[in-house]
Amino acid sequence: MMKASLSELFTGQKSASDVEIPGQISRTFGQMTLSATLPMSKLFTIYEVDLEVQRAIIPRNLSKLMDYITLYLDHHQPIYFPGIILSARGAGEYDTEQEAYRLKPVEKLYVVDGQHRLAAFRRLTESLQGALARAKDRRETDRMEELTDKLRRLYEFPMSVMVYLDINPRQERQLFSDINKLPRKIGGNLAVLRDQRRFYHVLATRLALQDEAVRQISVDMYTERGKSEQHLFSYHLLIEILAALFEGRLKSGARNNGYQYTERELDEQDLLASTYFQSLLAVLPRPESRHMCWSENIQIAMALFFHEEATKSGVFNRYALEHAIKMLAHVRWDEIYQGDEKDRLPRRSRIMKAYQYFREFYDNNQLLIMLDEEDAG
């Protein structure tokens, strides 16, 4: 027997009067803010998206987030999300005695950061509701219980929120821009949960922490996007290199960066990636930012090219990879870009121009590479 109907699950968080949000008031960047944790069912009823502040939904990002939430629904794996940032625009009142913020039923909080996360939860909710309605029509009792349980867990999922109480739409746009430009620090709790993340994220973490070759290169493990001056690679760059090396794709088009994979797959890619970085260290100068060969775009272009050479037989061939890498000892790095191309061209164009240079250089210098192998022999 099901514990509750779908309508009871959802309306259990609603009130005919004011919406009450228990939370603490503080000041953040000089503005009054409320910090709270809400179940998704309550959050669904109080947020709204202002399209003049938010960008359009990116379908690919939405799909990835839905896949991530499905881990929690289908496999009961723990999942982590950064908090949602909202703006009250002066709506609501805070009760200092009860330590609760109250909104009138018609008042809404506007999304500053977290639109895709909220959309993913809402889209999955709608999908489950549709599936439950079909199961009811067919009188599929077991399926109804399964879907009701998933909906209950979605509705009850706790989400941290920060509400700016009195900023205007212009300030919201600036805040949204600042949030999405700054490197995102990875807190200790998120670092622990990296094993629930995508394949290349887990592989990158393992390499950066355990592989001696990658440790020599130095990867900043404490930001998702940027890096400190003390590190050569950002964590995000290492992921991009792995996607390029194993798939011949830029990270945005990677197909194998999913949540479901075996330990054997992880071990195999770990060994190949370690071989790759060891081979780079053997032929390139010491890893330093002043050497163009260690720059971001060049590293991604290299990985794209070496993927092509390593997979000509249809599988990833370690010996073909090691053979191709020998060409790097002869590359004339200052010939890759002409004039101000290194600074003027868009990022993707710089990567592809470097890739094309490596392709042509390799095809035209096979004799040099064979002589190197004879000398080594």
Is the four-CA dihedral 182, 186, 190, 195 of positive or negative sign?
A: positive
Tokens 């191709």, residue?
Answer: 324
21 neighbors 36 (Cβ within 8 angstroms): yes
Q: At what angle do helices 296-310 and 347-364 cross, to 10 degrees?
A: 50
How would residue 1 be classed by pLDDT, with cut points 50, 70 and 90?
very low
How would residue 300 be classed by pLDDT, with cut points 50, 70 and 90?
very high
Q: Does residue 215 register a pLDDT over 90? A: yes
Supply the pLDDT for residue 178: 64
Most confident range, picked from 7-11, 116-120, 176-180 = 116-120
Contacts of 6 (CB under 8 A, 6+ apart): 129, 132, 148, 151
Tally of CB atoms within 10 A around 106: 6
How would residue 3 be classed by pLDDT, with cut points 50, 70 and 90?
very low
Q: Element (H or E) spanning 160, and its range? A: strand 158-164
Supply the pLDDT for residue 372: 62
Rounded to an integer, the average pLDDT of 193-210 is 79
Q: Does residue 205 register a pLDDT over 60? A: yes
Contacts of 330 (CB under 8 A, 6+ apart): 361, 365, 368, 369
Supply the pLDDT for residue 240: 95
Picking from 98-107, 218-227, 258-267, which range would have the lowest pLDDT averaged per residue? Answer: 218-227
- CA–CA dist 158, 173 (Å, integer): 26
More confident residue, 373 or 105: 105
Q: Chain centroid to CA 345: how far?
A: 26
163: its two tokens: 């509400």
More confident residue, 1 or 295: 295
- CA–CA dist 22, 100 (Å, integer): 4
How would residue 59 be classed by pLDDT, with cut points 50, 70 and 90?
confident
Q: Element (H or E) spanning 274, and its range? A: helix 263-283
Rounded to an integer, the average pLDDT of 188-198 is 47
Supply the pLDDT for residue 269: 95
pTM for this entry: 0.59
- Nearest partner of 325 among 342, 345, 341, 305, judged by Cα: 305
Mean per-residue pLDDT of the chain: 85
Contacts of 92 (CB under 8 A, 6+ apart): 101, 102, 103, 104, 107, 165
Residue 263: exposure state from Cβ atoms within 10 A (0-12, 13-18, ≥19) = exposed
Rounded to an integer, the average pLDDT of 330-342 is 91
